[in-house]
Structure 1
Amino acid sequence: MVWIDLEMTGLDPQSDEIVEIAVIVTEADLTEIDDSLSIVIKANDAPLAAMDDVVVAMHTASGLIDEIPRGTTLSDAESRVLEYVTSHVPEPRKAPLAGSSVYVDRMFLARYMPDLDAHMHYRLVDVSSIKELTKRWYPRAYFNTPEKTGNHRALADIRESIAELRYYRDAVMVPPPGPDTSTAKELGNNHVVDHG
């Protein structure tokens, strides 16, 4: 899985820009394959000036606001991240993009980093979706989810998302290797939708 987190000037890919990207590649068991990569990106003046007070406060508290003027170009960041990803996942459309509320990151990747976006599988592993299901089906597990303290920096956010998914795997999912074949088949048959 390719875990990507972005920090942006806001949530609208039409007017906001990426100011930080981080990536970690993991095995299926969520073990990190290699060192991570984190890059600060210099944004244009207009999106920076248009940031709302919440975003300004968040990026100020994390220290990111001071790093943005010295950041690299969007093009350079995309090239470096794509090189990192393809060194671990050379075949296009193989690895799913993973993260928390990662559909938002995907919208920004599609607009600003189309080559990187094109390399990723169309499927997403969204920890936020699992969180929402856990909240509804396993509230005790939900209320004991590990506390997040990453301070809205991209790399810290990814590590917390990976840790959160590990927690959900341990707290609410069937332990590996899962049910035996006959039990799995019986469960599957119990959930076939009759369209007739």
Structure 2
Amino acid sequence: MTKTTMRVNEDRIVGCDLETTGLEKSGDLILEIAMVVLDNDLNELGRFSSVVPQSLHGMMTRLRMSPVVLEMHRASGLVAEVHEARSSRPGEGIAHVEDDAIEFLDEYDALCAPMLGSNVKFDRGFIEAHMPFLAQQFHYRDIDVSTVKELARRRAPEVFAGAPVKREEHRALPDIRESVEEYRYYERAGFIVPSPGGAR
């Protein structure tokens, strides 16, 4: 069965967010991944969050991570957690995190669900590049909150003006929960009208 013929999981949506060392999926790395499994009413059924053990010294030497990005991840506490994961989980790496993430989706019956997030293309691209087996567990359809935001800005400015302000914590779990809350806001404001039968 190809991706274009996969039947979408009509009962689940998976919010997903990453923190990375930069913007280039071919050269930068994933530092943290978080997912929340949602029902069609956007109730959170389960959450998954994991930092990816990496050698920060190796990353900074090889990737020349931007000082701005490095300071952002230091301020959020992510750099320290990545260091801790590297020392407390020896031998583990991104493949272990990928396996745990797939197990989580399976546990919550969320395989083949659409991915929700802000700028989903970015997160999906990194997952396809670095966690290809996890990428295969999602349906190809996306629910991109940034698209909804842009449509509201252009078509319903009064709705857009009342949207919640993001705190920009730059941590995967709080960031994806903020995206879910933003989507919920647009739904409650009437900009998105949910179908009584759920997503199709």
Equivalent residues in 2 for 1:86-101 (5 A)? 86-89=106-109, 92=111, 94-101=112-119
Q: 1:14 to 1:136 in 2, by over 3 A?
A: same
Paired letter, 1:30 = L
Cα distance in 1 for residues equivalent to 2:132 and 2:194: 36
Cα distance in 2 for residues equivalent to 1:176 and 1:115: 31
Of 18-27 and 37-46, more deviation after overlay is shown by 37-46
Match of 1:19 in 2: 31
Equivalent residues in 2 for 1:24-103 (5 A)? 24-34=36-46, 36-44=47-55, 45-49=57-61, 50-71=64-85, 72-89=92-109, 92=111, 94-103=112-121
Equivalent residues in 2 for 1:153-192 (5 A)? 153-173=171-191, 175-176=193-194
Match of 2:165 in 1: 147
Paired letter, 1:158 = I
- Alpha carbons 1:138, 1:172 under 8 Å: kept: no
Unaligned runs of 5+ in 1: 179-196
**TM-superposition CA deviations, 1:139-174 (whole Å, max 9, x none):** 122122111125110000011000000001112425
Paired letter, 2:94 = L
Aligned with 2:35: secondary structure? Answer: strand
Q: 1:149 to 1:107 in 2, by over 3 A?
A: same
Aligned with 2:189: secondary structure? Answer: helix
**Displacement, 1:56?**
1.2
Cα distance in 1 for residues equivalent to 2:192 and 2:95: 42
Match of 1:184 in 2: none
Paired letter, 1:145 = A
**Displacement, 1:177?**
5.0
Paired letter, 1:39 = S
Cα distance in 2 for residues equivalent to 1:107 and 1:161: 18
Q: 1:124 to 1:174 in 2, by over 3 A?
A: closer
**TM-superposition CA deviations, 1:59-105 (whole Å, max 9, x none):** 11111011112235101110111100111226x5x300111111101
Unaligned runs of 5+ in 2: 1-12, 86-91
Match of 1:190 in 2: none
Q: 1:69 to 1:33 in 2, by over 3 A?
A: same
Match of 1:4 in 2: 16
- Higher-Rg structure is 1
**TM-superposition CA deviations, 1:111-152 (whole Å, max 9, x none):** 111111001100111101101111111112212211112511
Cα distance in 2 for residues equivalent to 1:174 and 1:166: 9
**Displacement, 1:28?**
1.1
Q: Is 1:124 equivalent to 2:138 in the alignment?
A: no
Q: Matched residue pairs, number?
A: 175
